[in-house]
Structure 1
Amino acid sequence: MLTKNIDLSRKTVLITGVAGFIGANLAKRLLELVEDIRVIGIDSLNDYYDVSLKKFRLDQIQNVLGKFVFVEGNIAEQECVKGIFELYHPDIVVNLAAQAGVRYSIEHPDVYIQSNLVGFYNILEACRHSKDNDCEGVRHLVYASSSSVYGNNKKVPYSVEDKTDTPVSLYAATKKSNELLAYSYSKLYDIPSTGLRFFTVYGPGGRPDMAYFNFTNKLVRGEKIKIFNYGRCKRDFTYIDDIVEGIIKVMEVSPYLDSDGVRYKVYNIGNNHPENLLDFVEVLQEELKLAGVLSNEYDFESHKELVGMQPGDVEVTYADTTELEKDFGFKPDTGLKDGLRKFAKWYREYYFV
């Protein structure tokens, strides 16, 4: 295991995309866990999905005792990013702000270029200039990549050593670009950076465009859900608490110099256990019934439809977490039934009570 070289206590952490699913849960956990930490969060609160859900997450952070500052702004605006760095001087940056969604990127490419490329460039530049005038500057940049970078690789599970030069969506291409940009800045300007390839993150208060949430909304409305690739797709579902625990462990270890003299790492964070989508929706409907979101008499079979593959989608995601386990002694392990049970209970409390 790697030795921790960053003590998060009394540090200032900048989290971009703090009103997002992962960002909000990370901020809340840091404030609960770490003594005298200060969390600066930025989010544009865009309307890609229900803004009230983002505000709900922010309220959850504000309810935690600790130092939290929220800035409503867009990381694609360079002056906004520069202003935050000049005012707060973050020690660690966790870049989670991004336009998400594979299928949305096919029809709305401009949004992805601005948020995922221009925005990330602005963060990298701010990290670079945080070291001006002999300042210590940012000690560790942690940023969100995605399992999408693996494209349609036939070899499974996906290893961080595998080639990732055949993205099948613009979203995937922007995430691969983030990794390349981060490497360049690490090499040129000695910015320690770690990229995290997340695998299908789910849980209470998640993104409504994700399959489990979208399926639930449609089932509640009595609509049919479409199960793509005739149910033959497999996904490595990773529970939000496991993701947050993994991020915090990574934050505490700024990459050591590699053989090329670069402080740069990339890790998979996934459950290492892909689930068939047909099995997944069976578990989901069982937990929704158990939580009282759906009635026990709900005819699930009549509300599902098997259809073909979608553009930009892949048949399987499957994380090889060997490097994560070796360096941090950590592996996500929340089972799908437990995770979906917590989501179903949250859904009932949020929408029904």
Structure 2
Amino acid sequence: MPDKSTVTWLEGDQSHSALWHSENRLLPPKKMVLADDTIPADDAYRLACEGTALLWRGDFQNARQLLQAIARRIDRPRKKKRVSKKNVQEKLHDKLPVAITNDVFNLHRLAQSQRARTLGQIIIRVDPNHQIALRRAPLVAEACFEAFGEINASYLISLRELLGLVGAHEWRKKGVVIKALDANGTQRIYPHYGVFSPIRGEYLELVANAVLPKALSLNSTAFDIGTGTGVLAAILAKRGIEKIIATEIDARALICAQENLLQLGLSEQVTVAEYDLFPPSKAALIVCNPPWIPARPSSALERAIYDPDSQMLRVFINGLAAHLETNGEGWLILSDIAEHLGLRSQAELMTWIENAGLVVLGKESIKPRHPKISDATDPLHAARSAEITNLWRLGVLTKP
């Protein structure tokens, strides 16, 4: 949930205040100065690094340019370390101890967090009904209303976060083509702000192509656990499964999934329901694509990627057997990126599966195709280039 603190500042001889709004868990600024088009980028960068927020009073487009200038200054020192990063990657390829990859990941996350805090120091005041009283400010009312609802008071938000929700609004308008729904590219999913966009198509292919369990012939019912945009439920429906319950606990995702399934004409076939994982019944097929990396998320959107201590993964595995019909299957879609980062071993995963009374019936695998695979400058390149996405077919272990 966003922070609802009130920020107070002096402007001239007058005291002003506004709500603080951050979906990315940025703390309200403790120190803030006014800034406009006259501030040099080096000065803005120094203040941001010191934790001083810049309440922008100049041209909106100049604020965007200043944000880009600060980003370049943040990234510039990192370029000097390319050789050391390359050496680390070479060591990873040589399969040195797992602790090295774990350490690289933790340092990478720390750098990301510090970068986000620094870039979040340019602050925009948004007036009631999501209006911005700055020169050349874009119309953001529709995007902000979609993300936050109606706000009848002024609030402060980081420029970076504001631009992010405007970008999310554009994704919501144009949608994401899902080839697993329609090879002709006419079927789209429309992700809402704060709901992870299904832009990585390889895991969708796995669900679209895996052989359906025979138990569906007796009870054509499936669950999609943690449905998000509803994309996996839609794929299952397109494959002919008669009844699908798509569960979700996030309020935005619930609305997003319902709207997507309605526009795809699948709302009669798929029921979107608010449950923390499993509904209180059984199904012949249960599909789950949990967050892949056991680490703490730093924003609402990252909850689709990071799962602290593999909590959701383990709860799904432990609860699966009780919700499967006889001879039913659970499909666990999981990247092995955590293994390459030294955050979770396959042996741990297999132990959890065994302890839950489950057995691996089979596994479908596919190589991801995202751009970072070929980015040798990425500090996690060694892990990303080795990543495989798996669909684990799980069944209940029968007692002899």
TM over 0.5: no
- Sort the TM-score into its range (normalised by shorter chain): 0.3 to 0.5
RCO comparison, higher one (Cα < 8 Å, 6+): 1
Rg (Cα) greater in structure: 2
| TM-score, scaled to structure 2 | 0.35
TM-score after normalising by structure 1 = 0.38
Q: Which has the higher strand share?
A: 2
